[in-house]
Chains A and B, each alone.
Chain A
Amino acid sequence: MIAFINKLPIKTKIILFIMIISIISILLVGLVVVIYDNYRARKDLVNDTTLLAQIIANRSTAALTFNESRMARENLEALQVKGSIIAGWILDEAGNVFATYGRYHSYTVKHLFKNDNAGNNYLFVENMFYLREPVKLDGKVIGTVILLRHLREFQLQQLIFSLIVILVIIIAVLVALLTSSYLQSIISGPLLHLTEIAQNIVRQKKYSLRANIHSDDEIGILVTAFNNMLDMIETQNRNLEQRVAERTAELVIARDRAESADHVKSAFLATMSHELRTPLNSIIGFTGLVLQGLAGPLNKEQQKQLGMVQSSGQHLLTLINDVLDISKIEANQVEIAIEPFDFRESVKKIVHIVQPLADTKNLQLNIDIHDGVDIVYGDCRRVEQILLNLLSNAIKFTEKGEVRIESERNNAHIITRVIDTGTGIKAEDINTLFQPFHQLDTGLTRQYEGTGLGLAICKKLVELMGGTITVQSEIGKGSMFEFIILATLEKKT
């Protein structure tokens, strides 16, 4: 019951409570009125009938005394004026019927009040009302008048009165309903207004809205508290916004500064790489000329030392190229040129380049290119750079066994794997493998020369081409690098 009431809106609750109280009160009053009226009406009935009986009794003293039943009968016939009295009797001192009025059987009359010693002078029997009145002469009972009254009229009056009371109750309940429906708005109105404002604030995020105050009661206090709370929220929001704006401005400045610094750095690196390469190319070029004997014959020792100069120069060039690449990538200056090329040919070309390296280490170099891997659209130069990097790495870190390159097509993707039987990579190093300036195991640095930029460049390039590069490796058994690139079959515009 309470759970049900709790679910109702406050408006309904107020009406419900008022109605419950009103109905209880109205019904109680109605009940009391009906009961009292019934009691009073019965009393009136008894009094009224008693009066008649008393008149008849008084009129009949001589008739009874001098045994003149004709006179008694005449007295009884006066009852004709009262239609509801359908019969009457006068009994003598001994209880025998002395005179009769009406055609009602007098059979039971003698015994009617016999068992009633309590002195009750009237009886309600079904629809009938019996009343007896002693006929007294000088204080001595000389007979009895008994009147029989039909209760139809009485009951009809009672019914009419009850109907009127019911009608009044219905009207009163309706009036209570209307009044409570109107009055409830005094309490629920401000609450509904407050709820609406709260919902609007939540929906529109407008903290500038305020609820109106209608009353000075608890609801008024609630509304005031609500408005104060909104003031606080608004103030806090304003402060917060201000602070955020300040912080954002600071961050923008910091970011701009950092970005410009980055650009400056990249530009510097690119310029520097270019500037470094120019004299280096002269060194390598002229060393080559000397080695070819164009400047006169060289002895063995001179040839050997010049060869070392050339080799160091080449290495330095590689380093500078890598630094140039990575700085270009990080400065977002690399552009991918999409054009058709033969993937198979590119692989063969790179294998051809690294073949001498494999040969010097007595390594097998196997190629397995599946059907369907031929002309694709992509950046040929970058793909070749990746292939070269992965293959030279594989050969570099493999002492015996084989290096293998596989390539296959999967829809729009070319999947290429470079598998070796080399030293392998530790699990904890795999995560940092593709980060720039990171060469595995500083202990090995001396053994395997390199910039440590190769894989980082590969990863960046693969990603620029919309692909991924992954590695699987086991210490002592070898590694497998797999890169997938998007190689569209048709030229994109």
Chain B
Amino acid sequence: MKTALPIIACTTVLKHVLILLLLLHGICYCQDTASTLENQVKAAYIYNFTKFVYWNTLPQISVSTPVTIAIIGDESIGPILERFLKARGKVPPLLVKIITTNDTNLTDCHIVYISKFATTKLPVLLKRIDNNSILTVSDISGFTAKGGMIGFYQDKGKIKIEINMTAVTNAKLQINAKLLEVARITWSGKIE
């Protein structure tokens, strides 16, 4: 038994080292995956808005009419969204457009997502969209106060939704009550 003791001590030290290494790796991985996970959730939310929002001026989303989403400012969202849709199956078909601030043709889009990386271009974009029936979504803080429709915000590590009913009404969009129930509602701006 006496001869066996050093071996046990040795393995204990080794175990600690290994755990430490794993933890360090985990932190790095987590930081990396945290933003990915966040983007995944955002992508899923963006897609799922199509199911709770009704466009009155555009043809209703169906198998034959694809949903068109414009992504501005974060190129990583597009592939995530596509992957997400692929995993969910084909229905309904989705057309994702990755566009720049210079792109003027936003009118045939259903949703425009403006990443926080494009904060500076926000007033220009909002102005361009104007009162077209386009659902504007963004993770820019205070997005709804600035005239946006749906904004993401963080609460206890969870991504939550804020809806500016004034903007939605002005855009002649209708939002399912169920979505309103799960969202924080604000009224900023003037109803036209």
Contacts and interface: CB of A to CB of B under 8 A. Distances in A.
Interface of A: 59, 61-63, 65-68, 71, 137-140
Contacts of B52: 62, 65
B51 A67 contact: no
B88 A62 contact: no
A67 B52 CA distance: 15
A66 B155 CA distance: 13
Interface in B136-163: 158-161
B12 interface: no
Nearest to A75: B181
B6 interface: no
Contacts of B176: 62
Which 8 A/B pairs are nearest by Cβ-Cβ distance? A62-B178, A68-B182, A65-B48, A66-B182, A62-B182, A71-B182, A62-B179, A63-B182
Given A61-B178, A140-B88, A140-B89, A66 B183 contact: yes
B127 to A, nearest CB: 29
B84 interface: no
B89 A137 contact: no
Nearest to A63: B182
Nearest to A59: B178
B122 to A, nearest CB: 23
Contacts of A140: 88-89
B55 interface: no
B23 interface: no
A137 B47 CA distance: 12
Interface of B: 41, 44-45, 48, 51-52, 88-89, 91-92, 158-161, 176, 178-179, 181-183
B89 to A, nearest CB: 7
Nearest to A71: B182
A138 B179 contact: no
Contacts of B178: 59, 61-63
Contacts of A68: 160, 181-182
B181 A71 contact: yes
Contact of B48 (A59, A66, A71, A139): A66
A59 to B, nearest CB: 7
Contacts of B159: 67
A66 B178 CA distance: 10
A65 B51 contact: yes
A59 B177 CA distance: 10
Contacts of A138: 51, 91-92
B91 A62 contact: no
A68 B45 CA distance: 12
Contact of B51 (A63, A71, A137): A137
B107 to A, nearest CB: 25
A137 B176 CA distance: 13
B159 to A, nearest CB: 8
B60 to A, nearest CB: 13
Contacts of B88: 140
Contacts of B181: 62-63, 68, 71
B173 to A, nearest CB: 16
Contacts of A71: 181-182
Contacts of B179: 62, 66
Given A62-B178, A67-B158, 14 more contacts: A59-B178, A61-B178, A62-B179, A62-B181, A62-B182, A65-B44, A65-B48, A65-B51, A66-B179, A67-B41, A68-B182, A138-B92, A139-B91, A140-B89
Contacts of A137: 48, 51
Contacts of B160: 68
Contact of B45 (A59, A61, A66, A139): A66
Nearest to B161: A66
Contacts of A139: 91
A63 B183 CA distance: 9
A62 B159 CA distance: 14
A322 B158 CA distance: 164
Contacts of B41: 67
B22 to A, nearest CB: 25
B69 to A, nearest CB: 16
A73 to B, nearest CB: 12
B179 to A, nearest CB: 5
A145 to B, nearest CB: 15
Nearest to B181: A71
B160 to A, nearest CB: 8
